[in-house]
Amino acid sequence: MCATCGCSDDAGVRVTDPSATHSREHPHDHPHDHSHAPDRTVLLEQKVLARNDDLAERNRTWLTARDILAVNLMSSPGSGKTTLLERSIRELGADVPLSVVEGDQETMFDAERIRATGARVVQVNTGAGCHLDADMLARALATLDPPRCSVVFIENVGNLVCPALFDLGESSRVVIMSVTEGADKPLKYPHMFRTADVVLLNKMDLLPYVEFSMERFASSVNQVNPRARVIEVSATRGDGIPEWYGWLRSRAGDRVVSASESRP
C-alpha cells in the first residue's frame, strides 16, 4: 500500500495522450508520512484507502451516467496483457467501441502499441507508484474522453499486490496470468485473485514446455475465489479467445448493438 510500498515518493504522475505533442504532468498527491510507527502507518493506510474509495465512487457514477463499461486488467509483468488487448481491439473494435487507459511506471511503449491498433489510448506513468488509483483514473478519463455507450480497458501496472487493494470505480476486474508463472500464484497472492470476476490463464500454447499443473491451478483459484470464471487462452495462437470475447460481449450488452447501429 502507499504507506509501505514506496509509491508515496515524490516521483510524479504523468497522464499523456500519445497523439498529442505535449504531456500533462501532475504531482503524486498521496499524503506523505515517513514515520514507521505501526499505529501511524495503519492510520495512514486507512486514510489513503478511504480517500481512494470516495474518488472511486465518483468515477463509478461518472461511468454509469455515460453507460461506459470499465474493465480493470491486472497481472504481473509479462503475462501478455498488452498482446491480449491488441488482439481484442483488432477483432472486436468494429462491433464494440473500445478505448484504453495504459498504466506503467515509465515509458509509453504499451500506449504506442495500442495506438497502432487505431484505438484511443491515454498513458498514465506512475513514477515510483506500483498501481493505478482512482484519482489517476479520473485524470486519465478526463483526457481520454471516452464516448458514451463504450468500453474502456484499464491496463493496470504489472503487480499482483497493490492494484488489488485500490478500487478505481471499474465495472469488472480481470486477472491475467500465464502458465509460465506457476500454478501456485492464486494461493500466494490471494487478494488479487479474490477480487477477480474472470481469471484469464494465458500462453496456453506454452503449456507442453513448462511445469504447470492445471489441476493445482484450478483447485487454487476455486479455494480463493469459487465465483471466478477461468478462461484458458493464448493471445498469440487464439486458444479460448472466442470465450473471452463472449464474456466481454455479455458484459458490454447493449453497447455492442449501439455501436453496430451507429455505423453507416
What pLDDT does 12 receive? 74
What pLDDT does 263 receive? 44
Bridge partners, residue 99, by sequence: 120, 152
pLDDT tens digits, one per residue of 99-136: 999 999 999 999 999 999 999 999 999 999 999 999 99
- Dihedral over Cα of 18, 77, 133, 83: its sign: positive
Beta-carbon-side half-sphere exposure of residue 9 (alpha carbons within 13 Å): 10
Pairing outcome for strands 120-125 and 98-104? parallel
pLDDT under 70: residue ranges of the chain = 1-11, 21-45, 256-264
The reply to whether CATH 3.40.50.300 applies to domain 35-256 is: yes
What pLDDT does 96 receive? 87
Dist CA 33 CA 40 (whole Å) = 8
Dist CA 119 CA 260 (whole Å) = 17
Residue with cell 470505480: 169
Long-range own/partner contacts, residues 244-248 (CB < 8 A, 24 or more apart): 244/84, 244/88, 244/200, 245/88, 245/91, 245/92, 247/198, 248/71, 248/88, 248/92, 248/96, 248/151
